[in-house]
Structure 1
């Protein structure tokens, strides 16, 4: 029984190492340039072992994205439990995204469009995030950080349209991804904030917290 448990723990540990390594490669090189051989060589495992866990590159890519989304969601939820207020959570999210986007090769997004399952995953996940965003903004309104005279469902849909425009026109080939995100999110947020919200937003973003 102990041997079985140890093997299970090893496989689970290996699975996470594969996801971390593969995601790093995908973001740095783009999807097409990454081979399963590259990942197995980097981890010092056989290609057979890799294929036993992920049967093909698309399955691996999908799991990478799903895993990263789960990690981000949990990370934000954990931070929110001890954060000073909603503006602190937003500032924390912005800093994480800016750091991440600064490391991503635009090819990563361009080539991702070829995978229908991936596109569908992003669409479904975006719908879930919109629901969470609505709840978050309502709390911010209650605490006086966000304006209560705006329809946030409309704002969310406008945000989706803006991101779709970025993807469809491949604006990320002209401007850096973190620059696009920073420009969009700051304009978006400042339009939603009350004077109290703006004070806190500027405080947390400039403080480096």
Structure 2
């Protein structure tokens, strides 16, 4: 693995564990046994490193999503598998990570968040259409409205004013949202499949 990739990997690990603000370039350098100078030879400052880590995360997530969709027998299996991956990822990330990203790096957070939302909307739209064709989702659902409602609910469970991190576990919120969402739009056949896969 090249030094640049090792820096990205270590920075991401530390950001996930401790949040972004408290992690220094010294911490990242020490974590992989290189000099701080080497870190700065690869990244001009912490802001560039944070941006690169976020881009890397998004690319990896896109790859996982594509693999899940390709390897799943049907849309419900794909969504529930994505949910399990999502919960696993959430449990690895400190709430401080997203807090720091939004508060101290809004110029990075806002455009990447908007880009990700658009991409995710397109993915869920495609999955809903596929689920209707498979007879697993109700054919009368308004795909555009339901797609937007789903991602607005994702934003809602991320809102600390509504669901404070010290009172709610985000993984539990995400699981509740996903299961209720999928069951709510499913046909009887789809609901039976959800229940079978969750046993």
TM-score by length of 2: 0.89
Mark the CA change 1:58 to 1:83 in structure 2 (over 3 Å): closer, same or farther. same
For the residue of structure 1 that corresponds to 2:92, the secondary structure is coil
Q: Could you say which residue in structure 2 is the equivalent of 1:132?
A: 123
Q: Could you say which residue in structure 1 is the equivalent of 2:183?
A: 190
Aligned residue pairs total: 195
Given the alignment, which residue of 171, 175, 181 partners 1:178? Answer: 171
2 CA distance for matches of 1:152 and 1:131?
11
Question: Is the counterpart of residue 141 in structure 1 residue 146 in structure 2?
Answer: no
Contact 2:154 2:174 in 1 (8 A): no
Please, what is the CA RMSD of the aligned residues?
Answer: 1.7
Question: Which runs of 5 or more residues in structure 1 are unaligned?
Answer: 1-9
For the residue of structure 2 that corresponds to 1:144, the secondary structure is coil
Contact 2:90 2:170 in 1 (8 A): yes
Mark the CA change 1:74 to 1:198 in structure 2 (over 3 Å): closer, same or farther. same
TM-score by length of 1: 0.85
Equivalences for 1:50-129 in 2 at 5 Å? 50-114=39-103, 115-116=105-106, 117-129=108-120
Question: Is the counterpart of residue 47 in structure 1 residue 36 in structure 2?
Answer: yes
- 1:127 Cα deviation from its structure 2 partner: 0.7
Contact 1:102 1:176 in 2 (8 A): no
Which range is displaced more, 14-23 or 86-95?
A: 14-23
Contact 1:98 1:181 in 2 (8 A): yes
- 1:60 Cα deviation from its structure 2 partner: 1.4
1 CA distance for matches of 2:171 and 2:159?
17
Contact 2:121 2:151 in 1 (8 A): no
Contact 2:128 2:137 in 1 (8 A): yes
Given the alignment, which residue of 3, 6, 10 partners 1:14? Answer: 3
- 1:172 Cα deviation from its structure 2 partner: 4.4
- 1:81 Cα deviation from its structure 2 partner: 2.2
